[in-house]
Structure 1
Amino acid sequence: MQESGHDANPQMKAAFITGHGGNEVVSIAMRPKPVRQPGQVLIRLQAATLNQVDLYMRNSGAGITHQLPQIMGLDGAGTVEEVDEHERAFVPGQSVVLHPAVGCGRCEFCQRGEVVLCTGIQYLGEHRDGTLAQWVSVPAQNVFPMPAGLSFAEAAALGVNHLTAWRMLFTKAQLKPWETVLIFGIGGGVSLAALQLAKLAGAQVLGTSRDDAKLERARLLGADHLINSSTQDVVKEVMAFTGGRGVDVVIENVGAAVWSSAMKSLVRGGRLVTCGATSGDQPSADLRRIFIRQLQIFGSTLGNFDEFRDLLSLTERTGLRPVIDSEFPLDQTHAALSRLESGQQFGKVAIRVGEA
């Protein structure tokens, strides 16, 4: 295998989609190694984790502008391989974690620091080659020092799930320590991240799942009240726990299947933050409830660079560690995708890209 930057046609191993369908369109083979451009950092990746969008890109990728073949993977962590000579923030060999959103740097949203609202945004693994590869080259602003004490897989997990949960809880919902939060789908990456972060903030957390084993594991992570949504009435359980008041904040990424319960679980003036619609994106709006109870509804996706910096600082300070469900070598990406697709995972499904 050619790895040197001086080779005429350097190659690297990667997992990439060649079409759309099932695992048969996912190849693990050689692709051209990226050539670092000025202002970029070349990263030797050690680990990445899978996200629901990896399945979406494999299955259809509809609505996301991309070219085939497309290297998969949004988040990642590894070591710096090459940087500009004048780069002061990073040195070769340094352990780093990636922010997956590459902005244009020029639109009004980038100018005010909201890269996630960029009109020309490119996500790793969606609009451009991603992190299920031995190397990736990204703008220096997308590279952050890796918190001490984490494995590469744990660090990689921060870049999507925990950053998404951070923006939902603290930027959108403005969660306070004395408040209550209802989190749907405990077991999924964003939901578990929200549980961890909300408990660190001092809030009370209620969680739902259809799996008793996942509920018990969530209890061990500090959840205050857990609801089996297949055998219990979520709204009744919420009201019983809160003395008929309702929760201050709902965090959900399920969509239509839970929307009614989510709305009815909120206290008057409460806030609902959504970042997904895996069960459908056209629920009943329930407008009368929204305006009479003065509910607030926020949409949210990922987070900006400042939010990521704050998240990494908190991780370093508190010893927060993302929950890893399982780890697979890059050659077993098919098995990893199947694990995520099964819905049986508790935490992140990780891919070991490097040997470290």
Structure 2
Amino acid sequence: MKAIVLNERGPDGVRLVERPEPECPAGFAKIRMLAASVNRVDLYMRDSGAGITHELPLVMGVDGVGEVIEAETGSGLAAGDRVILYPYEFCGKCRHCLAGDQPLCTSAKILGEHRHGTFAECVALPARSCVKLKPETDPVQAAVLGVAYLTAWRMVFGKSPAGPGSVVLVQGGGGGVSYASMQLARMAGARVIVTTSGTDKLDHFRALGIEAIDYRTEDVPKAVMRLTGGEGADLVVDNVGEKTWGSSLRSMARGGHLVTCGATTGAHPSADIQRLFVRQLSLHGSTMGSMEEFRKLIAAFENGAFTPLIDNILPLEQVPDAFARLDNPARMGKIAIRIG
């Protein structure tokens, strides 16, 4: 089978190669991949991978959609079923799994990080990590849900759920997780404000009826306060890190919540502790979501509650080009990879 493999660090270490198809041990399902998407973690794995236990060469790719080739009787899956892959291989036995919080599994293996991933023509994954889709579901649109949209779901509906009457500020609205957070917060009935830059992106959001702040020309906290009558945002979604952290904290309403899932501009911002306790602010870390959150996300998608924004669709052999597009400031939304 063809697969995109990371052989060594750096762009030149990512290659399209021929590999044997994976075996399908007991409890697993063998999947013919149809589509996947690229994510920030793919760039992290390519360029660093520090702190993630893995060995090279490694098949890249975290999320995706495919069709079942084979699965055990009693698994709930049958050959021909279209499935979306939950990005974790989880144990199902630790206290976190038993509590239904699979992202905290003590022995979790994330696809494309701790084990071989989805940028391949065939994948083997525990059957419990496969969720059936309707036969008519667009595999390319569904393929972008597993990381960006699942992460956004937990951020928007997790420890401080957005809803009617709440104000949600999304930093860097054009990115995959940020755009998904905007869509889901709006779906929940919240008032959404995004930060972005460039005329095209500003016009895009404003055409949707979303209030947009140009972070290059405006003072973001002042703009948020002006738009909210001095109240601020009840929930701030920030996966940018050091560059936006200060403005995120200053944009929060008293008793507000900041949720983060990334640090693309740096991981060590000022905590601004006095502001935290005086205004009784909360900071939440978030990574992907549980199986139950995944099922709710898929149901909302298949029921037409939102449509993922896809910036570009590229074939498997052009994954390196997809990585370059991921870093392009003009990108808006997700980049999908068509495999089947």
For Structure 1 versus Structure 2, the TM-score category normalised by the shorter chain is over 0.9
Please give the alpha-carbon distance, in whole angstroms, between the structure 1 residues aligned to 2:329 and 2:14.
Answer: 20
Contact 1:172 1:300 in 2 (8 A): no
Bigger Cα displacement from structure 2, 140-149 vs 180-189 = 140-149
How do 1:23-172 and structure 2 match up within 5 A?
A: 24-87=12-75, 89-147=76-134, 150-172=137-159
Pair 1:221–1:122, CA change in 2 (3 A): farther
Amino acid at match of 2:169: L
2:303 partner SS: helix
CA shift, 1:150, in A, is: 4.0
CA shift, 1:107, in A, is: 1.9
Find the partner of 1:18 among 7, 17, 34: 7
Amino acid at match of 2:49: G
Runs (4+) of structure 1 exceeding 3 A deviation are 147-150
CA shift, 1:218, in A, is: 2.4
RMSD, aligned CA: 1.3
2:178 partner SS: helix
Amino acid at match of 1:141: R
Pair 1:317–1:247, CA change in 2 (3 A): same
How do 1:200-211 and structure 2 match up within 5 A?
A: 200-211=187-198
2:114 partner SS: coil
Please give the alpha-carbon distance, in whole angstroms, between the structure 1 residues aligned to 2:58 and 2:327.
Answer: 20
How do 1:163-202 and structure 2 match up within 5 A?
A: 163-202=150-189
Amino acid at match of 1:31: R
1:155 partner SS: helix
CA shift, 1:178, in A, is: 1.2
2:319 partner SS: helix
Contact 2:10 2:46 in 1 (8 A): yes
Find the partner of 1:285 among 254, 271, 295: 271
Aligned residues, how many? 340
Tell me what 1:218 maps to: 205
TM-score, normalised to structure 2's length? 0.97
Please give the alpha-carbon distance, in whole angstroms, between the structure 2 residues aligned to 1:94 and 1:221.
Answer: 36
Please give the alpha-carbon distance, in whole angstroms, between the structure 2 residues aligned to 1:308 and 1:249.
Answer: 21
**Unmatched segments (≥5 aa) in structure 1:** 1-11
Please give the alpha-carbon distance, in whole angstroms, between the structure 1 residues aligned to 2:277 and 2:225.
Answer: 21
Pair 1:220–1:140, CA change in 2 (3 A): farther
Contact 1:147 1:315 in 2 (8 A): no
Please give the alpha-carbon distance, in whole angstroms, between the structure 1 residues aligned to 2:306 and 2:28.
Answer: 29
CA offset digits 1:125-158 (Å, max 9, x no partner): 0000000000111111111122565421210111
Please give the alpha-carbon distance, in whole angstroms, between the structure 2 residues aligned to 1:219 and 1:121.
Answer: 40
Tell me what 1:267 maps to: 253
TM-score, normalised to structure 1's length? 0.93
CA shift, 1:323, in A, is: 0.7
Amino acid at match of 1:306: E
CA shift, 1:322, in A, is: 0.8
Please give the alpha-carbon distance, in whole angstroms, between the structure 2 residues aligned to 1:254 and 1:236.
Answer: 19
Contact 1:148 1:316 in 2 (8 A): no
Please give the alpha-carbon distance, in whole angstroms, between the structure 1 residues aligned to 2:313 and 2:98.
Answer: 38
Amino acid at match of 2:7: T
Tell me what 1:4 maps to: none
Contact 2:65 2:84 in 1 (8 A): yes
2:144 partner SS: helix
CA offset digits 1:167-216 (Å, max 9, x no partner): 01111222121111000011100001011111111111000012221222
1:32 partner SS: coil
Please give the alpha-carbon distance, in whole angstroms, between the structure 1 residues aligned to 2:291 and 2:207.
Answer: 31
Contact 1:110 1:118 in 2 (8 A): yes
Amino acid at match of 1:263: L
